[in-house]
Structure 1
Amino acid sequence: MATDEGGLRERKKRETRFALSQAAIRLTIERGWNNVTVEDIAVAANVSERTFRNYFANKAEAIVATHVERGRRTAEALRERPAGEPLWDALVNAVVAQFEPPPGHDGAVQDGHGTVPDGYAAALQRLLAEPAVQYEVFRAHTTAQDELTAAVADRTGTDAGDLYPQTVAAVISAGIGTALTRWSRNPTGSIGTLLREVFDSIRAGLPDPR
């Protein structure tokens, strides 16, 4: 019973972190970096400013938390893939699943799907160019890659300190980063489709396009 309660508390904490992160992203894209306060984000997520401070030190950290949570979900999804599934298939399916629209999705842009409003791409680029956000993105990237390395090691019977799982995680992280960067510059269509295109190219050994 205690274990169930602990798991429920942890899930609720992750849900709150994700809600705050999504609110931070949406508001800063709509209003601009300098026109959004921590209080604004807390109100949008229907929590107190104190609750926000319990989770994040600043709004940049909140914005990037979505990437951290996605990394954790990807690692968890990889561990849950069928044991007999080839590693690369399992990795791609685990990654793409994190960018698929949730049930009942209302069409708003979120995590790479939905209808893109006018000016979204430019606003997103301005947000990602903020030095504070860039710093947090670097930290989040490291955390997400470490999570994936551990999951790959578990699946392949290797150690997280070995070169193999570290290389696999680095390649997957680079592929995700490439797709996200491309999509942020032209946010149309499904990012899941773009991810599969990137990973298909990697799977083929990055053949000469000529």
Structure 2
Amino acid sequence: MSTTAEPGLRERKKAATRQALHDAAVRLAIEHGPDRITVEAIADEAGVSRRTFSNYFGSKEEALMHGDLQRVRSLIASVRARPVGEPPWAALTAAAAEFYRQLGDLDPQWVARSRLVRRHPTLLAAQVQTFAAVERDLAAEVAARSAELDPGGVRARMTAATFLVSLRVALALWLDAPPGTSLGDLARETLATAGRGFR
């Protein structure tokens, strides 16, 4: 076997373990409530040791938020892939539209986890922390596209933060909306409202 394939296989195994821990955390949190589950229970559910859990996540909240982190990173990759000359807010909204198109039918487990987050302050805080962790990366993409002077990076950070908050607001509205409401449509509306100051 070629040695060049080994790192790829190793990374795939790591990603599979991380995903298994996330899935186990979500299952247990939905079944028992996030306050009643432990890191040990998540590790047992995923079939790994407590030490293995600690190699991937610092807390059960971090394990529960892993899916959100992956989605936001995917969104940032979509922004990065937009045409170079596209203005920042246009690139962000176009990437979001593509993201929601690809999302398709929402996973019921993800919807249930999103409802859990709203009911539990510790998860809500973890979600905010998750978004904050990638805000700087998103701001860097915004800055790379901006033709305006922004020496302190304030406008880029504000643009990135406003974009991410708009997506969170859209999700909150969607969770309270009647069945059949489109999350993508709500995201377009919140982004259009927020974007008036970033064109």
TM-score for the superposition, normalised by structure 1: 0.70
Q: 1:19 to 1:111 in 2, by over 3 A?
A: same
Q: Structure 2 vs 1, CA of residues 101 and 83 (structure 1 numbering), >3 Å: closer, same or farther?
A: closer
Per-residue CA deviation, residues 84-140 of structure 1 (Å, 9 max, x unaligned), is: 44433321232344445568x7x642555xxxxxxx5xx854543334323322321
Separation (CA, whole Å) in 2 of partners of 1:86 and 1:194: 22
1:87–1:69: structure 2 CA closer, same or farther, 3 Å change rule? same
Aligned to 2:119: 129
**How far apart are the structure 2 equivalents of 1:127 and 1:162?**
31
Could you say which residue in structure 2 is the equivalent of 1:115?
none
User: Residues 63 and 98 of structure 1: is their aligned pair in 2 closer, same or farther, counting only changes over 3 Å?
Assistant: farther
Does the residue aligned with 1:128 lie in a helix, a strand or coil? helix
Shift of 1:142: 1.3
Q: Would you say 1:179 and 2:176 are equivalent positions?
A: no
Q: Does the residue aligned with 1:57 lie in a helix, a strand or coil?
A: coil
CA deviation after TM superposition for structure 1 residue 172, in Å = 0.3
**Counterpart AA for 1:199:** L
Aligned to 1:80: 81
Q: What SS does structure 2 have at the residue aligned with 1:83?
A: coil
Gaps of 5+ in 1: 113-119, 206-210
2:133 corresponds to which residue?
143
2:108 aligns to what?
Answer: 109
- Indicate the residue corresponding to 1:153 in structure 2: 143
* Residues 1:166 and 2:167 are matched in the alignment: no
1:121-169 Cα deviation digits (max 9, x unpaired): xx85454333432332232121121121112122337778422211211
Q: 1:54 offset after TM fit, Å?
A: 1.1
Q: SS where residue 122 of structure 2 aligns?
A: helix
- 2:54 match: 53
Please, which of 181, 192, 195 is the counterpart of residue 200 of structure 1? 192
In structure 2, do the counterparts of structure 1 residues 54 and 162 end up closer, same or farther at CA, with 3 Å as the change threshold?
Answer: same
CA 1:47/1:29 → structure 2, altered by over 3 Å: closer, same or farther?
same
Contact preservation (8 Å) 1:153, 1:160: no
**Residues 59, 149 of structure 1: CA spacing in aligned structure 2 closer, same or farther, 3 A cutoff?**
same
Change (3 A) 1:50 1:185: farther
Between 10-19 and 22-31, report the one with greater CA deviation: 10-19
Quote the sequence identity (%): 36
Q: Within 5 Å, which residues of 2 pair with 1:54-73?
A: 54-73=55-74
Aligned to 2:42: 41
Counterparts of 2:124 and 2:118, CA distance in 1: 6
- Aligned-partner Cα distance in 2 for 1:194–1:143: 24
- Deviation for aligned residue 1:19: 4.3
Is the 1:99–1:111 contact (alpha carbons within 8 Å) kept by the matching residues of 2? Answer: no
Q: Per residue, is there more helix in 1 or in 2?
A: 2
How far apart are the structure 1 equivalents of 2:123 and 2:50?
20
Mapped partners of 1:184, 1:45: distance in 2: 29
Count of matched residue pairs = 195
